Structure 1
Amino acid sequence: MDLVERLAEKINQLDGLPTPIHIGFLTADNSLQLYPAPGSRTISQDWYGVQERELNFEIAIRTDDAELGNRCLWNISNAIDGLQTLISKDESFEFNTIEMTGLPFISEQDVEGFSIYSLDFKVNIDQQTED
């Protein structure tokens, strides 16, 4: 399923990102990452094998510029909160909705002066199960 790739692609189209978003966990340097979060679930399945799924994701930025981290995640939040379409390139899912489950927040600050800002959201899709 190419959902996470399509989300990253959509976010990377935004103007003013300090760096392109990557898929995976934060690195030791300045980084902007998108990754699955716990709690995803299957809501229902019909007789044809189509599952309605709710998938949780988190976007995080690790930066030594607190203002930049906060502004970046607010811009991403505002952009994806209004997302109406997201098209799978391999036809592995059909996009239904996206919902912000919180507002951007600072989750950590280390002794080196780096802060981590996070944003949580969930995506509702339909996905055909394997026969």
Structure 2
Amino acid sequence: MDFIERLCDRINDIDQLPLACKLGYLGTDESLVLYPLPGSQVTTEYMDGTTDQQLNYEIAMKSKAQKRIHESLWAIQNELENLTELESQDGSFEFDELIITNKPFINQIDDQGWFVFLLDVQAKITVFKEGK
């Protein structure tokens, strides 16, 4: 299933972002990432193997420029809050909705001046059984 890749692509389509979003966790330098969170679940399973799922994701940004993070994550949040369509490239899912579960918030600052802010989202999608 290619949902997380399509969500990352959609984030990267936002013009004003100073960094490209990547899948995975924050690096040692300035970075913008998307990764899954615990708590995702199948909400309905159909006879043909198709499932409705709620998937939890987090978008994290690390920078020494707090304003840069703030502006970037709010731009992402505004874009995703209005997201009505996201297409699978391999036909593995159908998008239903994306809910902002936590607006951008500061998570940490270290003694070297790095800030980390987070934005949490939940996607509701239908996942089709492989090989159909």
Same fold flag (TM > 0.5): yes
SS at match of 2:88: coil
SS at match of 2:18: coil
In 2, the alpha carbon distance for the partners of 1:31 and 1:70 equals 13
CA RMSD between the two structures: 1.0
Which position in structure 1 is the counterpart of 2:71? 71
- The one-letter amino acid of 1:27's match is G
Identity of aligned residues (%): 37
Q: Offset at 1:130?
A: 4.3
Question: Given that residues 3 and 93 in structure 2 are in contact (C-alpha distance below 8 angstroms), is that contact kept between their aligned partners in structure 1?
Answer: yes
Q: Offset at 1:42?
A: 0.4
Which position in structure 1 is the counterpart of 2:127? 127
Q: What are the ranges of 5 or more consecutive residues in structure 1 without an aligned counterpart? A: none
1:77-126 superposed Cα distances (whole Å, 9 cap, x missing partner): 00011100000000111111100001100001000000000000010010
In 2, the alpha carbon distance for the partners of 1:98 and 1:78 equals 12
In 1, the alpha carbon distance for the partners of 2:4 and 2:99 equals 15
Which position in structure 1 is the counterpart of 2:6? 6
Q: What are the ranges of 5 or more consecutive residues in structure 2 without an aligned counterpart? A: none
In 1, the alpha carbon distance for the partners of 2:112 and 2:104 equals 22
In 1, the alpha carbon distance for the partners of 2:16 and 2:101 equals 24
- The one-letter amino acid of 1:10's match is R
SS at match of 1:85: coil
Which position in structure 2 is the counterpart of 1:93? 93
Which position in structure 2 is the counterpart of 1:62? 62
SS at match of 2:103: coil
In 1, the alpha carbon distance for the partners of 2:65 and 2:50 equals 44
SS at match of 1:84: coil
SS at match of 1:102: strand
SS at match of 2:112: coil
- The one-letter amino acid of 1:127's match is V
In 1, the alpha carbon distance for the partners of 2:63 and 2:53 equals 32
Q: TM-score, length-normalised on structure 2?
A: 0.96
In 2, the alpha carbon distance for the partners of 1:130 and 1:90 equals 10
Q: TM-score, length-normalised on structure 1?
A: 0.97
Question: Given that residues 92 and 130 in structure 2 are in contact (C-alpha distance below 8 angstroms), is that contact kept between their aligned partners in structure 1?
Answer: no
